[in-house]
Amino acid sequence: MHKKVVTIGGGTGSFMVLSELKKRENIEITAIVNMTDAGGSTGQLRDEIGVLPAGDARQALIALAQSEQQWRDLMTYRFEDGNMSGHSFGNLLLGALEKISGSFEQALERASELLQVRGTVVPITLDDSQVIIESQNDEIFYGENKIDESVVANPKAIYFNKSTTLNPVAEQAIKKADIIIICPGNFYCSIMPNLLVSGMHQALSKSRAKKYFIANLVSKYGHTTDMTVFDFIDRAHKAVDLSFIDTVIYNTQTTIDPQLQAIYDADGEHLISVGDMDSYRDIEQIGVDLIAEDTIAQNTYDTVKRSLIRHDAKKLVDIILK
C-alpha cells in the first residue's frame, strides 16, 4: 500500500526532503510550495511581467525530476551577464508557460511533464499576496525580499497584504495524506507564511496524517538570532497554534568544520540548540545528528544568500518513514 506523503515549505529545505523522498518506493508525493517569494529572480519576474512567484515551485520540480540531467541543469542554470544576470532559466520557463497556458497551475503541469516529475507540485495558494511584518517599534517591512534583508527578530505581527486562502488542491492533499512534513526554511519568509494561509490550520488540524516539524540547523541573523528549537515552536504556536504537530525532529550535533563555523560566526549565525521543551511534552521530540557530510557552495550569480550546511536527508527521511 502506498503512503501519501505531503511536504509543506519552500526553498532548500523542501528541496532536500523531496530529493530524498523521490528515491523511496511505495509513496505518493505532493509538494505544497510557498507562493509569497519576492526575492531574487523570482521577485523581479513577478514585478516585471506579472507572473506568480515560481522560485519555490521550481526547486520542488527539480527535486522531483526524473528527466535527463540536461533538463535539470537547464532548470538550475543562472545567467551570468547583462540584464539577465542572476535570473534562473527555470523561473523564466515557468513564467513563459504561465503566460502561454493562462494559469500557474497549467504551467506546473506542463513543466512536470517535461521534467518527468515523480509526484505533484501544488501552490499553497493562488492569491498574488505579499508578506508584511510589523516590528516591535511599528516599522513595516513589505514583501519577502525586504523582510529577508532586514532585522525583524520577534516581530509584533506578521500577515498578508490581502486575503490569502488555501488552494483547494492543497487542502485535498492534506486531507488524504498519511504523512505531512513541515520542512525547514526561512522562518519569517517560508515557514510562517505557509502556516498563516487562511484555511491551512483547519486543514492540518482535521487531517489524520502524522505531522512532522523539522527544525532548522542554523539561525539567521536578524531573524532567529539566539533562537532555540523551543523558540521556533513557541513563536509559531503563539501565532497559528501548532497543536496539530505530532513530532519535532531537530539536530543535536554541536560542532561543524572550523572554516564553516568562522563564516557563520562572521555573519552572527549559529547552530540551533534544542532549548527547554518541557512545555511541549505532548509533542514527540526526536533529536539526532542531522548535519550532512557534504556542504553547499553559494552560486556566485544567485542574489539570495543560502545556507552552507544541509540536513542529512537520508537519515531524516528514514526517521519519518520508519
Tens of pLDDT, residue by residue over 202-253, are 999 999 999 999 999 999 999 999 999 999 999 999 989 999 999 999 999 9
Look up the domain containing 168 and give its range: 3-320
Query: Which of these ranges, 91-105, 127-141, 213-227, has the smallest mean pLDDT?
Result: 91-105
Strands 157-160 and 131-134: antiparallel
Q: What are the residues whose beta carbons fall under 8 Å from the beta carbon of 54, sequence distance 6 or more?
A: 37, 42, 45, 90, 91, 94, 95, 98, 104, 107
> Residue range 83-96: average pLDDT?
77
Greater model confidence, 114 or 291? 291
The C-alpha cell 507572473 sits at 51
Phi, psi of 256 (to 5 degrees): -135, 175
> Residue range 295-321: average pLDDT?
72
What pLDDT shows up at residue 133? Answer: 96
Cβ atoms 236, 190 nearer than 8 A: no
- CATH, residue 173: 3.40.50.10680
Where does the pLDDT of residue 303 fall: very low under 50, low under 70, confident under 90, or very high at 90 and above?
Answer: very low
Q: Considering the chain, what percentage of its residues have pLDDT values greater than 90?
A: 63
Residue 304: pLDDT above 50?
Answer: no
> Residue range 101-122: average pLDDT?
91
For the purposes of burial, counting CB atoms within 10 Å of the CB of 124, is it exposed (0-12), middle (13-18) or buried (19 or more)?
buried
Q: In whole angstroms, what is the distance from residue 20 CA to residue 314 CA?
A: 6
Put simply, whether the predicted model's pTM sits higher than 0.85 gets the answer yes
What pLDDT shows up at residue 180? Answer: 98
Residue 69: pLDDT above 60?
Answer: yes
Residue pLDDT, tens place only, 153-200: 989 999 999 999 999 999 999 999 999 999 999 999 999 999 999 999
The secondary structure element, H or E, covering residue 250 is: strand 247-251
How many domains, in total, are found in the chain? 1
3-state secondary structure of 272: coil
What pLDDT shows up at residue 73? Answer: 83
The span from the first CA to the last CA of the chain, in angstroms, equals 15
